Amino acid sequence: MANFEYAQAEGMGRPLKFEGRPVWAEISLGAIQHNFRLIRRHIGRGRKILSVVKGNAYGHGAVPVSKALAKAGTDWFGVTCTAEGIELREAGLRQPILLLTGFWPGEEARILQYRLTPVVTAIEQLRYLEGAARRARRRLDFHLKVDTGMSRLGIAPADAGRLVSVLADCPHLRLAGTMTHFASSEVFTHAQTEDQLRVFREFLQRLHAVRVNPGLVHMANSAAIASRPDTWADMVRPGALLYGYHQRYDPPERLAEVSETLPLKPALSLRARIVLLRDLPAGVGIGYNARFVTQRPSRIAVIPAGYADGLVRRLSNTGRVIVRGRCVPIVGIVSMDLTTIDVTDVPEVSVGDVVTILGRDGELSRSPFDVAAEIGTVTSDLLCSLGSRVPRFYLR
């Protein structure tokens, strides 16, 4: 087997050196900063931007991406949990960090220690935070999540009165923000988002009626940022937009509208090299359970990437990759570490050739957006599947 030491990154003047399995991801920090600036221009400078970097920045790498976004001027970061927030703090990030899905009892001291901002999703959580802040003799800011129709996390709008009563007994806490989350802001064929917006505004009016300042009001996710200006409020929360991807809209023509308004640059490419070529006769089964059988004499290439790397199993016998400027099919079941592709129609193919699993290669592209649609999932699902063992090279 050949010894592979280099991965040629698109647009780089020199090869990127690494040792080990020849599978890697290329991530353009410049593209992420470009997308951030587009969002900033789109919403105006009077609103804040919370950059969502949960899930290892959607697989792109939380720390390098967050540092690039900090340089671009993000106001906040959004993470899922305390551990993700601490990772950013230990990397030197100073911006406010919001724990989007709240916290577990017992994490209060670490929230204070690392200057994280918790989201309260149940009124009982206020007691935990108040106790920790009192012991630390500090004031602690928190954001409140209101369930307006997502039916997951958040207090019920009808509990506004009880919230105010409990909060009055928590002198060490300050309501610094109030938020909700849209279930289907990309869907314009029914009124769910309008209903959620109405419920949220009514809740805010209840707070104002009893002279409780809601703090920063925020609700707009990526789809709402792109197409629903009436939801932008004080701060917006881009996720997929930062990494270069719009949502699929209903009706579909909305996608063309928002793509023209926000011409995003996808940030990620996933590539591997061919490590083995096999010439097989017709009638040979390939991979687990022989789910693919050659129908003609075939040249089959093996690449060292599987579902533990981000080449998801749902692409078995349906997906395509790019080799030497041609799209070729994935054949057989995608396994954890290896995938087989049919390169019979690429006569010049050789061991060591680069295979583009996601991203652009010359005139051809396998966008995560399009691949996700082919297998019936969302782009974020595909991006977050990128395995931790895949080396990431950051292009500036």
Same domain? For 143 and 196 the reply is: yes
In a domain, 381, yes or no: yes
**Residue of 260, 237, 255, 276 lying closest to 369 (CA atoms):** 255
According to the model, what pLDDT value does residue 11 have? 40
The reply to whether 43 and 176 lie within a common domain is yes
- Asked if 323 and 364 count as a contact pair (C-beta separation under 8 A), the reply is no
Asked whether residue 55 is assigned to any structural domain, the reply reads yes
State whether 151 and 73 are in the same domain: yes
Does the active-site annotation cover 54? yes
State pTM to two decimals.
Answer: 0.93
Q: For residue 55, give the CATH number of its domain.
A: 3.20.20.10
At 17 the pLDDT is 62
Does 260 reside within a domain? Answer: no
pLDDT-derived band of residue 10, with 50, 70 and 90 as boundaries? very low
Same domain, 56 and 150: yes
Q: Per-residue confidence at 20, pLDDT binned at 50, 70, 90? A: confident
Together in a domain, 147 and 55: yes
Segment 134-161 mean pLDDT: 96
Taking 70 as the threshold, does the pLDDT of residue 224 lie above it?
yes
How sure is the predictor about 18, in pLDDT bands with cuts at 50, 70 and 90? low
Q: Using CA atoms, how far apart are residues 232 and 185, in angstroms rounded to an integer?
A: 12
Angle in degrees, CA 175, 103, 231, rounded to 5: 50
- The mean per-residue pLDDT over the stretch 252-279 comes to 96
CB 238 within 8 A of CB 324: no
- The last residue of one of the domains, among 243, 276, 308, is 243
Residue 113 maps to a domain: yes
The torsion region of residue 20 among left (phi > 0), alpha (psi -120 to 50) and beta comes to left
251 falls within a domain = no
Residues 41 and 68 both lie in one domain: yes
Q: What is the pLDDT of residue 15?
A: 54
Both 274 and 294 in a single domain? yes
In the listed set 243, 259, 287, which residue is the last one of a domain according to the structure? 243
Residue 255 domain flag: no
Q: How confident is the model at residue 314 (pLDDT cuts 50, 70, 90)?
A: very high
Distance CA 74, CA 93 (A): 11
Average the pLDDT over 182-186 and give the result: 95
Set 6, 48, 54, 71: catalytic member: 54
pLDDT at 278: 96
The arithmetic mean of pLDDT across residues 222-241, rounded, is 97
Q: What is the pLDDT of residues 337-388, one digit of tens each?
A: 999 999 999 989 999 999 999 999 999 999 999 999 999 999 999 999 999 9
Q: What is the pLDDT of residue 48?
A: 98
Is 254 a member of any domain? no
CA-nearest of 12, 51, 7 to 32 is 51
Residues 272 and 126 in one domain: no
Q: What is the pLDDT of residues 29-80, one digit of tens each?
A: 999 999 999 999 999 999 999 999 999 999 999 999 999 999 999 999 999 9
Looking at the fold, whether 310 and 235 belong to one and the same domain comes out as no
Closest residue by Cα to residue 358 from 63, 23, 64, 56:
23
Q: Residue 182 pLDDT more than 50?
A: yes
Q: What integer pLDDT is reported at residue 373 of this predicted model?
A: 93
Pairing of strands 326-331, 320-323: antiparallel
pLDDT at 386: 95
The residue segments making up the domain with residue 363 are 6-22+267-395
Q: What mean pLDDT is predicted for residues 105-129?
A: 97
Answer yes or no: do 239 and 160 share one domain. Answer: yes
In total, how many domains does the chain have? 2
Same domain flag for 223 and 118:
yes
What is the identity of the amino acid at 260?
E
What Å distances lie between residue 243 and 40, 191, 230, CA to CA? Answer: 14, 28, 24
**pLDDT at position 396, please?**
77
CATH number at residue 373: 2.40.37.10
The answer on 325 and 301 residing in a single domain is: yes
- Say whether pLDDT at 16 is over 90: no
